[in-house]
Chain A
Amino acid sequence: MTSVDEPRASLSVRPAGHAVVRAGRGSSFLVHRRALAVAVVLAVLLAAAVVVSLCVGEAFVPPAEVVRVLLGLPSPDELVVGTLRLPRLVTGLLVGAAFGLSGALIQTMARNALASPDVIGVTHGAGAATVAAMTFGLTSYAVLPYVSVVGGLLAALLVYLLAWRGGLSASRFVLVGIGISVALGSLTRLLVTKGDYLVAQQAKVWLTGSLNGRGYDQAAPLATVLLLLVPFLLWAARAQRSAAFDEDTATALGIRLGRVRLGLSVLGVVLASAATGAAGPVDFVALLAPQIARRLTRTPQTPLVCSALTGALIVVVADVLARKLLSPLELPVGVFTALVGAPCLMWLIVRTRGNRSGGTA
């Protein structure tokens, strides 16, 4: 025991790496310095990716013109950039951000880096519902998103009902979720195999996740959901800290862990369902984005803003590849998201091996 009376002003006792922002009326906020820097860098990269994405396509548009269009100035390329390419890009941005957030929330809630909307039934529920609707002749892009949202939410509800036991246990939630996902995945494959060729073809593209033909019709509902969830996400950013504790320690600190877990997971489920409705279950974004973001920021909990930015960046870059790599053939964006995200994550894992700040995968 040290019984030193001299002030130890030189050693900070604040949560490591945080700055305190005071905003009057006794309010104060903790900001993680590195996370803030990473967010700025990601935002800059994302802006660059947005411009590149709007430049490339069947016809190349110079970046200067793209920026003019984005700033609302008159430009000869307004039709190509503003009307044809921008709606699809906006959808991609929102889908990536929503999946990134969803993955971060569900991984935090489950205290498991392998958890994502894929393993708790949402994406497979959405997939099964959509493919079933296609099989029964419902192929309109105006209706399918809602079918998939309902399917995702129903599957998640089923997981909650089966996993609930006087509270929400993380491991039970994940286990039941995996079971339901596998069952629904099989059902989807069965429907695709039994269905006729055209339906199977369409279902396959949808199941990979595609931005082809997506625009403001898909982006608007997703944007609405994201906006409505902002207050809850602000809560979640803080509540995430609590979810990292075990039950006893959390209770000792006055945290109602069950409620925190339920809140975080419901947010994650709603986000994943809405994103799946807009572009199908775009592979791996929800799994990879939070892990990449966390390794970049080195925060003890998964950073929400950086996860959203990373998710958006992955989807936008993957979409550029999907459109250009085998041009004029357009591949679904879901083919490339893992291809873009996985090497980044591998590099970060290898680089931080043996480094304590990297966390475990």
Chain B
Amino acid sequence: MTDERPAELSPVQDAVPAQVPVGNRLAARGLTLAYEDRTVVEDLDLEVPDGKVTVIVGPNACGKSTLLRALGRLLKPRRGAVLLDGAELAHVPTRRIAQVIGLLPQTPMPPEGITVADLVSRGRQPHQKWWRQWSDSDEAAVAHAMERTGTTDLAERPVDELSGGQRQRVWIAMALAQDTDLLLLDEPTTYLDIAHQVEVLDLVRQLNRERSRTVVAVLHDLNQAARYADHLIAMRAGRVVAQGPPADTVTADLVQEVFGLASVVVPDPVTGGPLVVPGPPGVRRNTPRGLPAHRKPIK
């Protein structure tokens, strides 16, 4: 079966302001991001649609995590700005941001010997004062976060002893206890097996649906991105190549352009959304050289 949809890319890369929704809470303007002397993202404009799950995809080193870090003020822009409610992120006190944006870094390190309940309760930090260390709303938010993530039964366990999947749920619980309208997740499914990946992503989507939280996640897996995103952003070499609803965005041409991979896009048998299957159309077997036809031998 071949891709029957016309292979059109959403023409966003030339930044047509009329096409992107205005008035979103989180946006980037003319963003240039760099480490030391290496520029990763240059002059990027971006709107994060409110109340939707936005997923950023792209090949390794395309700048997707870097972009997410900048959206979460973990990385200072070289030029341009990230805007939160119209205010430049760099000028908003970090604690104030933490009351609006929850953020799960790629590899967070738990404090040594900390228990699950303790770690989740640290998510309340931005709402606490020296003289208000544990209010009823703290307790309610932590209880809710742990229940939502199914970590209530782990409350007394040390985080060091948990499995990868449990640990990831605990970190999400912490970000959830922060009780923010926006949630940024940097590869939340890394190191998880497929069942736990689905579990975490289902949870993320539920969190979005329930309180129309705005979620931005970086994902490696294009099919998962297509399945869970309301709004998909495909990046390559620091630029946004295409964005929009996955059904309109994910095409064989896009996969070719972004990942350099020949593929067939078929309807997902479960969701009906786009499903990327690697391999050029019509080829069902490996080539005589033993490599799948969509891969060229490395010289």
Q: How many residues of A contact B (CB 8 A)?
A: 39
Query: Is there a chain B Cβ closer than 8 Å to A171's Cβ?
Result: no
Residues on A with beta carbons closer than 8 Å to the beta carbon of B152: 2, 8, 11, 13
Interchain CB contact (< 8 A) of B153 among A11, A238, A253, A255: A11
Known: A1-B199, A28-B132. A13 touches B114 (CB 8 A): no
Query: Is there a chain A Cβ closer than 8 Å to B32's Cβ?
Result: no
Query: Is there a chain B Cβ closer than 8 Å to A251's Cβ?
Result: yes
Query: Is there a chain B Cβ closer than 8 Å to A359's Cβ?
Result: yes
State how many angstroms separate the Cβ of B94 from the closest Cβ of chain A.
Answer: 5
Decide: B73 and A251 in contact? CB cutoff 8 A.
Answer: yes
**Cα distance A300–B112 when bound, in Å?**
7
Known: A2-B150, A251-B74, A300-B111. A13 touches B117 (CB 8 A): yes
Interchain CB contact (< 8 A) of B118 among A2, A4, A16: A16
State how many angstroms separate the Cβ of B284 from the closest Cβ of chain A.
Answer: 38
Decide: B203 and A28 in contact? CB cutoff 8 A.
Answer: no
Decide: B134 and A20 in contact? CB cutoff 8 A.
Answer: yes
From A179-187, A239-247, A280-288, the one touching the partner chain is A239-247
Decide: B125 and A13 in contact? CB cutoff 8 A.
Answer: no
Decide: A1 and B113 in contact? CB cutoff 8 A.
Answer: no
The winner among A12, A18, A249 for most chain B CB atoms within 10 A is: A249
Decide: A254 and B126 in contact? CB cutoff 8 A.
Answer: yes
Query: Is there a chain B Cβ closer than 8 Å to A351's Cβ?
Result: no
State how many angstroms separate the Cβ of A240 from the closest Cβ of chain B.
Answer: 10
Query: Is there a chain A Cβ closer than 8 Å to B142's Cβ?
Result: yes
Query: Is there a chain B Cβ closer than 8 Å to A27's Cβ?
Result: yes
Decide: A357 and B125 in contact? CB cutoff 8 A.
Answer: no
Interchain CB contact (< 8 A) of A26 among B105, B109, B132, B148: B132
Query: Is there a chain A Cβ closer than 8 Å to B143's Cβ?
Result: yes
Decide: A248 and B105 in contact? CB cutoff 8 A.
Answer: yes
The winner among A245, A252, A255, A301 for most chain B CB atoms within 10 A is: A252
State how many angstroms separate the Cβ of A223 from the closest Cβ of chain B.
Answer: 25
Query: Is there a chain B Cβ closer than 8 Å to A360's Cβ?
Result: yes
Residues on B with beta carbons closer than 8 Å to the beta carbon of A244: 111-112, 114
State how many angstroms separate the Cβ of B57 from the closest Cβ of chain A.
Answer: 21
Query: Is there a chain B Cβ closer than 8 Å to A14's Cβ?
Result: yes
A123-138 interface bits toward B, Cβ cutoff 8 Å, 1 = contact, 0 = none: 0000000000000000
Decide: A15 and B130 in contact? CB cutoff 8 A.
Answer: no
State how many angstroms separate the Cβ of B262 from the closest Cβ of chain A.
Answer: 37
- Give the residues from 108 to 125 in chain B that come closer than 8 angstroms, CB to CB, to chain A: 108-109, 111-115, 117-118, 120-123, 125
- Interface secondary structure of A, over-half rule: loop
Decide: A238 and B133 in contact? CB cutoff 8 A.
Answer: yes
**Cα distance A156–B130 when bound, in Å?**
29
**Cα distance A356–B74 when bound, in Å?**
32
- Give the residues from 26 to 73 in chain B that come closer than 8 angstroms, CB to CB, to chain A: 69, 72-73
Query: Is there a chain B Cβ closer than 8 Å to A227's Cβ?
Result: no
Decide: B104 and A252 in contact? CB cutoff 8 A.
Answer: yes
**Cα distance A252–B97 when bound, in Å?**
8
Size category, B interface = 35 or more
Decide: A27 and B178 in contact? CB cutoff 8 A.
Answer: no
Decide: B131 and A27 in contact? CB cutoff 8 A.
Answer: yes
Decide: A356 and B175 in contact? CB cutoff 8 A.
Answer: no
Residues on A with beta carbons closer than 8 Å to the beta carbon of B108: 245-246, 248-249
* Chain A residue nearest to B97 in the complex (CB): A254
Decide: A13 and B121 in contact? CB cutoff 8 A.
Answer: yes
Decide: A16 and B115 in contact? CB cutoff 8 A.
Answer: yes
Residues on A with beta carbons closer than 8 Å to the beta carbon of B113: 300, 356-357, 359
A323-361 interface bits toward B, Cβ cutoff 8 Å, 1 = contact, 0 = none: 000000000000000000000000000000000110110
State how many angstroms separate the Cβ of A8 from the closest Cβ of chain B.
Answer: 5
Decide: B121 and A15 in contact? CB cutoff 8 A.
Answer: yes
State how many angstroms separate the Cβ of A32 from the closest Cβ of chain B.
Answer: 11
5 nearest interchain CB pairs?
Answer: A254-B98, A244-B111, A254-B95, A248-B105, A252-B103
Residues of B within 8 A of A (CB): 69, 72-74, 93-99, 102-106, 108-109, 111-115, 117-118, 120-123, 125-126, 130-135, 139, 142-143, 146-150, 152-153, 155-156, 158, 160-161, 175, 178, 199, 202-203
Q: A4-B147, A16-B117 are in contact. List 11 more A-B contacts (CB 8 A).
A: A13-B143, A15-B115, A16-B118, A16-B155, A28-B131, A234-B130, A245-B122, A248-B105, A252-B72, A252-B74, A252-B175
21 A-B pairs in the complex with CB atoms less than 8 angstroms apart: A1-B149, A1-B202, A8-B147, A12-B155, A13-B146, A14-B121, A15-B117, A26-B132, A27-B132, A245-B109, A246-B105, A246-B108, A246-B109, A251-B72, A252-B72, A252-B98, A252-B103, A254-B95, A254-B97, A254-B125, A300-B114
